[in-house]
A = this chain, B = another copy of it.
Amino acid sequence: MSGTNHAENDDWTGQVPTVVLVEPQMGENIGAAARAMWNFGLDRMRIVNPRDGWPNPKAQAMSSGAGRVMDAVTVVDTTAEAVADLNYVFATTARSRDLAKEIMTPERAMEHARALIGQGQKVGIMFGPERAGLENEDIAHANALISVPVNPAFASLNLAQCVLLLAYEWRRQTGEVPAQVMELAGTDFATGLEVQKLGERMEEALDARGFFWPEDKAESMVLTLRNMMTRLDLTQADVRVFHGIMKALEKPRAK
């Protein structure tokens, strides 16, 4: 995947969840998490007690293109400080815990986040250190857990991948992207009349060559052909191509 529109898009600056990285170890992972966030429009990151201090040159280098996220990073000493002003906090974890807590899929969690933010609430998503994940002391600050439904035989998401999936779900829950559209590549869909005329030309050409046979099947064969032609969702360019094909095929052959 590539291709970036460098124009600013202010729609992305609305209320979004805050990403809280608790005691991240490698600067590269902080930078990669920032990129994953910004890919899907998240731009608020807080870091609790980063192992290698702050600022971190490796984080800066890895975050290339997501400078907006890095510029706004807040660093605090404790998880309690990081979530102090947040109304609702999710904690991501792959492991079952000793604490009674709601566990949500990323989808359900970001749906809930959207609802909360729509009510003016401040929402955070906590991610633990690379190796160990969040401690129970951190999880006690969370209102609910998020568990990504990974393959039970291979659950090896890294920090940035986990951030990516949550950011993607946030975008999916809030974006107004149509699930399916036709890329028309500069043409339009053919009109009913254009498709009908093409179909008639094909029928005539086929009929002249004895295609519709036996005669008692002819009617249903024509119907099948017409049905196919409309089902194809032809563009005007497609119709021209088909006419070209018909023209080529209709040339009288040497007998």
- Which A residues are closer than 8 A to B by beta carbons? 1-9, 12, 35-36, 38-41, 65-66, 92-105, 107-108, 131-133, 145, 148-159, 161-162, 164-165, 168, 171-172, 175, 177-187, 235, 237-238
Contact = CB atoms under 8 A, between A and B. Distances in A.
A132 B175 CA distance: 26
Contact of A39 (B100, B156, B179, B181): B156
B103 A3 contact: no
A108 B132 CA distance: 35
A155 B149 CA distance: 25
A199 to B, nearest CB: 19
Number of identical protomers: 2
19 contacts: A1-B94, A1-B133, A1-B156, A1-B162, A2-B94, A2-B95, A2-B132, A3-B95, A9-B152, A12-B153, A35-B156, A36-B161, A40-B150, A100-B187, A102-B180, A103-B181, A104-B179, A161-B161, A164-B165
A65 B100 contact: no
Given A149-B177, A162-B1, A180-B103, A185 B154 contact: no
Contacts of A178: 105
A101 B40 contact: no
Given A1-B93, A95-B3, A237-B100, A151 B41 contact: yes
Contacts of A6: 153
Contacts of A186: 98
